[in-house]
Amino acid sequence: MAFNSDKITIETVIHEADILAVKALFLDYLNFVEDFLGESLEFQKTDEEFTSFPKFYDALYIAKINGNPVGACGLKPFKDDICELKRLYCRPGARGHGLGRQLIELCLKDAKDRGYAKIYLDTDHGLVHANTIYEALGFKDIERYYDNPMDSRFMARSL
Q: How confident is the model at residue 151 (pLDDT cuts 50, 70, 90)?
A: confident
User: How many domains in the chain?
Assistant: 1
Which residue range forms the structural domain that includes residue 124?
A: 8-158
pTM: 0.91
Contacts of 131 (CB under 8 A, 6+ apart): 123, 125, 153
Query: What pLDDT shows up at residue 50?
Result: 84
pLDDT exceeds 60 at position 1:
no
Q: Are 59 and 103 in contact (CB under 8 A)?
A: no
* Helix/strand number for the chain, H first, E second: 4, 7
Query: What pLDDT shows up at residue 2?
Result: 46
pLDDT tens-digit map of 66-83: 999 999 999 999 999 999
CATH code of residue 95: 3.40.630.30
Separation of first and last alpha carbons in the chain: 35
